[in-house]
């Protein structure tokens, strides 16, 4: 493999061939950064999940290593796949795996069993069950032995969640020195819960506590990561950060997967979110929001009296009673309809209402029955479902919202549907509203506001204040159809994390961390300084792999009306028919990446889009660092408190760049472009 193919990342890790997803087992040991990753040894889409392996001494130049954990039975008869997990250095040999003074590395991963089977440990597992297993290495991570005499070491969730064995995954293990215990956090994906377990020896685990659901709860919760960081560099103020992947349910304006984080405290057994990191019904709605339906008398949604005959449009026989809008004390929101459905009751459209889409977000509260998760809400345009949401929690109604910026002025229908297949079910929807500014339903701390940063995980084995994370630079929405070959997917640039007080809150700040000196020549290939720029400034052909450092003055609000933007077009063809616009919108105070004309966008209907991320000026200046590679753009705004990661698939001839300023002139512009060399 030449690492020279069209779209091949030049300074981002990608496997030589085949499918890759999440980073796994990130551990630094003996001067070596290990990068394991979800890998299909037999194909270029997801399957046969194994742990691929690469190593580096500088997080920049990677050496491919043999597969660390090969799907059991591959290729003919796979019985167990190795899903995501993490790895630690067991320096004190607490596990007893060490021999002759050799320090064991221990990996904890999710065993995804393909068929019902009784394992060598004597434990019996069901088809598609997910359980947590361990493996160890006595040669510094190069070869691994699964702990078959006892695996899986966590066979199933706690009794209260024993029905969740198919969605119990992604152990993130670390050493907690204050309590001198190993801790693992893992996810009850469908329930939006993170479970905490502790252990003395990495083999015997005790369930300690649960956390969630909270804030963003779209789709499933996956790949949790819990780690400490000091605030503002002060050793005395330590906070813990919980990162959680959502699929789907990423940041507003994206489709598919994405990641949120929550800042709080962790005492070794329990994670407690900071109160100002929890957004609930009491979080004020955006000031421009218009209520469409709150089902308690106001709003323009068709009146719902929720009587058994009146509203169950298309609903087959319902046994039992429907109670009218029972308020449930002690819970958020309202129990709108309480149905009892027969074992095989058909699903039905409970109510619907048509309207014209006139604002960017549709916000609502939605919940559902715990066992049945049977509330669904659909947005339909021309009879096609364009957005959907399902309630996933039995008690709490949780905020969600749809970004419908691309559907303005279209006639649409909202449908509320009961999708239960039997048993008791609760249909819970409330407070549907429209707004243009980001809605409280999407108020979460987003790790990255772009579409292509997922399943991020931090390194174990670094010094206690050092956090470096790597994310999967792809999205489950279209990950398996991106037009690359013979590999699919790359990792993000490794990012050094810190917590900095911004807007009164400890905020995650990210800085790209590679051995830049080794791949970025000191002299820029472009350096322009303009007191004032109006219109476009062609920068010429700057290549396919480079970094742009951009600073400019904010505009006074009087000059920030519609189409008041400044930025740079990158990866443009000579005729600009292909181009990726990266810039700042002064009116909304967002940086953005517009990949609508970025090249090949044909493989998924949601790919051609514009992504926004809030960024405010610092002392009147806006700063953006833009990392461009052969098929990606990563933007770090301000100090790194806001990031946008997006893939692009431009033609090889798309090497041109141009500055643009729309509306009025932009002042005090400084643009520098540095070539980034290939690490391969
Ligand atoms: C996240 C994920 C994990 C799982 C892995 C399987 O991208 O779905 O939850 O462990 O991928 O490949």
Domain boundaries, the chain: 18-279+445-512, 290-442, 520-675
Q: Which helix (H) or strand (E) holds 518?
A: helix 516-519
According to CATH, the topology of domain 290-442 is Jelly Rolls (2.60.120)
* Of 455, 456, 457, 476, best ligand 1 pocket probe by most atoms within 8 Å of the beta carbon: 455
Closest alpha carbon to 25 in 146, 106, 131: 106
Distances (CA, A) of 344 to 376, 420, 424: 18, 9, 12
Question: Who has greater pLDDT, 366 or 292?
Answer: 292
pLDDT of residue 335 exceeding 50: no
Task: Tell how strand 50-56 and strand 32-40 pair up.
Answer: antiparallel
Ligand 1 atom at minimal distance to the Cα of residue 245 = 1
Distance CA 256, CA 265 (A): 29
DSSP code per residue over 570-591: EEE-TTSSS-EEEEEETTTTEE
Distance CA 396, CA 335 (A): 9
CB-ligand 1 contact for 222 (6 Å cutoff): yes
Distance CA 612, CA 275 (A): 26
**Assigned superfamily of 18-279+445-512:** Glycosyl hydrolase domain; family 43 (2.115.10.20)
pLDDT of residue 323 exceeding 50: no
Ligand 1 atom at minimal distance to the Cα of residue 476 = 7
CB-ligand 1 contact for 83 (6 Å cutoff): yes
Q: In angstroms, what is the span from residue 501 Cα to ligand 1's centroid? A: 32
pLDDT of residue 63 exceeding 60: yes
Q: Report the SS3 class of residue 149.
A: coil
Q: In angstroms, what is the span from residue 476 Cα to ligand 1's centroid? A: 10
pLDDT digits (tens, 9 = 90+) for 163-195: 999 999 999 999 999 999 999 999 999 888 999
Q: How many residues does the chain have?
A: 680
Q: What token pair was written down for 212?
A: 């969630």
Largest CA-CA distance found in the chain, in angstroms, rounded = 76
Confidence at residue 336, expressed as pLDDT on a 0 to 100 scale: 43
CB-ligand 1 contact for 190 (6 Å cutoff): no
Q: Which helix (H) or strand (E) holds 399?
A: strand 398-403
Neighbours of 206 (CB within 10 A): 11
According to CATH, the topology of domain 520-675 is Jelly Rolls (2.60.120)
CB-ligand 1 contact for 110 (6 Å cutoff): yes
Query: Any idea what DSSP says for residue 164?
Result: G
Question: Who has greater pLDDT, 432 or 476?
Answer: 476
DSSP code per residue over 22-89: EEEEEEEETTEEEEEEEEETT-SSS-S-EEEEEEESSSSS-EEEEEEE--BTTTT---EEEEEEEEEE
Same fold for the domain at 290-442 and the one at 520-675? yes
Q: In angstroms, what is the span from residue 51 Cα to ligand 1's centroid? A: 12
Distance CA 254, CA 235 (A): 36
Q: What is the pTM of this model?
A: 0.84
Model confidence band, residue 368 (pLDDT cutoffs 50, 70, 90): low
Task: Tell how strand 487-488 and strand 18-29 pair up.
Answer: parallel
Distance CA 99, CA 96 (A): 8
Mean pLDDT of 358-364: 89
CB-ligand 1 contact for 448 (6 Å cutoff): no
- Out of 59-73, 90-104, 436-450, 470-484, least confident range: 436-450
Q: What average pLDDT does the structure give for the chain?
A: 88
Model confidence band, residue 587 (pLDDT cutoffs 50, 70, 90): confident
Closest alpha carbon to 316 in 338, 294, 287, 348: 348
Ligand 1 atom at minimal distance to the Cα of residue 46 = 12
Ligand 1 atom at minimal distance to the Cα of residue 49 = 12
Ligand 1 atom at minimal distance to the Cα of residue 223 = 9
Under a CB-based contact definition with an 8 Å cutoff, are residues 351 and 304 in contact?
Answer: yes
pLDDT digits (tens, 9 = 90+) for 512-567: 999 999 999 999 999 999 999 999 999 999 999 999 999 999 998 878 777 899 99
Residues whose CB falls within 8 Å of the CB of residue 47, separated by 6 or more in sequence, listed in order: 19, 40
Ligand 1 atom at minimal distance to the Cα of residue 83 = 10
Q: In angstroms, what is the span from residue 402 Cα to ligand 1's centroid? A: 24
Q: In angstroms, what is the span from residue 69 Cα to ligand 1's centroid? A: 15
pLDDT of residue 303 exceeding 60: no
Could you confirm whether 200 is annotated as catalytic? no
* Of 83, 172, 454, best ligand 1 pocket probe by most atoms within 8 Å of the beta carbon: 83
Under a CB-based contact definition with an 8 Å cutoff, are residues 49 and 128 in contact?
Answer: no
Q: Report the SS3 class of residue 601.
A: coil
* Of 19, 38, 221, best ligand 1 pocket probe by most atoms within 8 Å of the beta carbon: 38
CB-ligand 1 contact for 170 (6 Å cutoff): yes
Closest alpha carbon to 185 in 81, 268, 113: 268
CB-ligand 1 contact for 456 (6 Å cutoff): no
ipTM of the complex as predicted = 0.97
Confidence at residue 428, expressed as pLDDT on a 0 to 100 scale: 67
CB-ligand 1 contact for 455 (6 Å cutoff): yes
Distance CA 261, CA 643 (A): 14
Confidence at residue 292, expressed as pLDDT on a 0 to 100 scale: 86
Q: Report the SS3 class of residue 480.
A: helix
Identify any residues that bridge with 457 across adjacent strands, giving them in sequence order: 470
Confidence at residue 346, expressed as pLDDT on a 0 to 100 scale: 43
Q: In angstroms, what is the span from residue 158 Cα to ligand 1's centroid? A: 21
Q: How far apart are the first and last CA of the chain?
A: 10
Q: What token pair was written down for 375?
A: 């509330």
Identify any residues that bridge with 415 across adjacent strands, giving them in sequence order: 352, 378
pLDDT of residue 332 exceeding 50: no
Q: What token pair was written down for 500?
A: 């900095």
Mean pLDDT of 485-504: 96
Task: Evaluate the omega torsion of the peptide bond into residue 80 and state whether it is cis, within 30 degrees of 0.
Answer: no
Q: In angstroms, what is the span from residue 256 Cα to ligand 1's centroid? A: 14
Distance CA 63, CA 38 (A): 17
Distance CA 224, CA 22 (A): 12
pLDDT digits (tens, 9 = 90+) for 237-283: 999 999 999 998 899 888 899 999 999 999 999 999 998 898 765 66
* Rama region for 679: left / alpha / beta (φ>0; ψ in -120 to 50; rest): alpha
CB-ligand 1 contact for 469 (6 Å cutoff): no
Q: In angstroms, what is the span from residue 223 Cα to ligand 1's centroid? A: 7
Distances (CA, A) of 123 to 85, 86, 324, 551: 21, 23, 47, 60
Distances (CA, A) of 65 to 55, 85, 243, 273, 604: 7, 18, 28, 39, 33
Mean pLDDT of 58-84: 98
Task: Quote the Cα angle for 607-609-611, to 5°.
Answer: 115
Mean pLDDT of 480-494: 98
Distance CA 475, CA 484 (A): 14
Dihedral sign computed on CA atoms, order 522, 528, 531, 534: negative
CB-ligand 1 contact for 452 (6 Å cutoff): no
Question: Who has greater pLDDT, 374 or 125?
Answer: 125
Ligand 1 atom at minimal distance to the Cα of residue 187 = 9
Under a CB-based contact definition with an 8 Å cutoff, are residues 566 and 666 in contact?
Answer: yes
Q: Report the SS3 class of residue 413.
A: strand
Q: In angstroms, what is the span from residue 22 Cα to ligand 1's centroid? A: 7
Closest alpha carbon to 634 in 511, 469, 502, 551: 511
Model confidence band, residue 317 (pLDDT cutoffs 50, 70, 90): very low
Model confidence band, residue 196 (pLDDT cutoffs 50, 70, 90): very high
Mean pLDDT of 443-467: 95
User: Which percentage of the chain shows pLDDT scores above 70?
Assistant: 86
Identify any residues that bridge with 594 across adjacent strands, giving them in sequence order: 581, 610
Catalytic site residue from 22, 311, 403, 430: 22
Task: Quote the Cα angle for 522-524-526, to 5°.
Answer: 180
Model confidence band, residue 441 (pLDDT cutoffs 50, 70, 90): low
CB-ligand 1 contact for 84 (6 Å cutoff): yes
Whose C-alpha lies nearest to ligand 1, atom 9?
Answer: 222
Question: Who has greater pLDDT, 417 or 133?
Answer: 133
Distance CA 546, CA 312 (A): 58
Task: Tell how strand 590-594 and strand 610-614 pair up.
Answer: antiparallel
Closest alpha carbon to 84 in 51, 54, 114: 51
């Amino acid at each position: 493999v030449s690492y020279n193919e069209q779209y091949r990342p030049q300074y981002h890790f990608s496997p030589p061939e085949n499918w890759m997803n999440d980073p796994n087992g990130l551990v630094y040991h003996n001067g070596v950064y290990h990068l394991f990753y979800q890998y299909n040894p037999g194909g270029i889409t997801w399957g046969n999940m194994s742990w691929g392996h690469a190593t580096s001494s500088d997080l920049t130049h990677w050496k491919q290593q043999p597969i660390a954990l090969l799907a059991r039975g591959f290729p003919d008869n796979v019985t167990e796949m190795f899903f995501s997990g993490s790895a630690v250095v067991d320096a004190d040999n607490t596990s007893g795996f060490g021999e002759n003074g050799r320090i064991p590395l221990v990996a904890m991963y999710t065993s995804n069993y393909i068929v019902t089977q009784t394992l060598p440990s004597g434990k019996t597992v069901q088809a598609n069950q997910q359980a947590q297993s361990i493996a160890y290495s006595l040669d510094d991570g190069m070869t691994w032995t699964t702990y078959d005499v006892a695996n899986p070491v966590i066979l199933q969730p706690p009794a209260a969640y024993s029905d969740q064995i198919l969605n119990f995954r992604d152990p993130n293990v670390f050493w907690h020195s204050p309590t001198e215990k190993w801790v693992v956090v893992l996810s009850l994906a469908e329930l939006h819960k993170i479970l905490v377990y502790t252990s003395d020896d990495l083999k015997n685990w005790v369930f300690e506590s649960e956390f969630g659901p909270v804030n963003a709860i779209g789709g499933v919760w996956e790949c949790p990561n819990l780690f400490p960081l000091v605030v503002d560099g002060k050793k005395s103020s330590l906070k813990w950060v919980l990162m959680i992947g959502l699929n789907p349910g990423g940041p507003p304006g994206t489709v598919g997967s994405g990641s949120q984080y929550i800042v709080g405290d962790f005492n070794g057994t329990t994670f407690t979110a900071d109160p100002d990191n929890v957004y609930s019904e009491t979080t004020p709605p955006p000031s421009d929001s218009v209520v469409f339906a709150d089902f308690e008398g106001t709003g323009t949604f068709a009146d719902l009296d929720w009587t058994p005959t009146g509203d169950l449009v298309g609903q087959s026989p319902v046994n039992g009673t429907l109670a009218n809008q029972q308020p449930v004390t002690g819970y958020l929101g309202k129990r709108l309809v309480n149905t009892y459905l027969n074992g095989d009751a058909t699903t039905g459209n409970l109510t619907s209402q048509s309207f014209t889409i006139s604002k960017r977000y549709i916000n609502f509260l939605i919940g559902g029955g715990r066992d049945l998760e049977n509330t669904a809400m659909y947005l339909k345009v021309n009879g096609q479902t364009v957005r959907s949401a399902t309630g996933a929690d039995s008690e709490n109604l949780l905020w969600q919202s749809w970004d419908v910026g691309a559907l303005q002025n279209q006639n649409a229908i909202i449908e509320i549907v009961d999708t239960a297949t039997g048993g008791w079910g609760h249909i819970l929807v409330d407070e549907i509203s429209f707004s243009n500014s980001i809605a409280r339903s999407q108020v979460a701390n987003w790790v990255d506001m772009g579409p292509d940063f997922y399943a991020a995980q931090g390194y174990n084995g670094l010094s206690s204040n050092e956090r470096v994370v790597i994310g999967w630079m792809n999205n489950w929405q279209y990950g398996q159809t991106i037009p690359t070959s013979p590999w699919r997917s790359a990792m993000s640039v490794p990012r050094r994390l810190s917590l900095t007080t911004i807007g009164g809150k400890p905020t995650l700040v990210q800085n790209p961390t590679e051995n830049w000196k080794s791949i970025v020549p000191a002299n820029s290939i472009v350096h322009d300084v303009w007191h004032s720029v109006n219109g476009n400034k062609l920068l010429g052909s700057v290549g396919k792999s480079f970094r742009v450092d951009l600073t400019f003055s904010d505009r006074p609000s009087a000059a920030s009306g519609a189409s008041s933007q400044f930025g740079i077009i990158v990866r443009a063809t000579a005729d600009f028919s292909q181009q990726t616009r990266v810039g700042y919108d002064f009116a909304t105070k967002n940086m953005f990446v517009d990949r609508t004309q970025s090249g090949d966008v044909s493989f998924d209907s949601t790919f051609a889009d514009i992504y926004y991320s809030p960024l405010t000026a610092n002392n009147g200046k806006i700063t953006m660092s833009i990392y461009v590679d052969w098929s990606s753009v990563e933007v770090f705004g301000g100090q790194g408190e806001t990031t946008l990661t997006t893939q692009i698939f431009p033609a090889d001839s798309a090497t041109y760049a141009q500055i643009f300023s729309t509306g009025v002139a932009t002042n005090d512009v400084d643009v520098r472009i540095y070539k980034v060399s290939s690490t391969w």
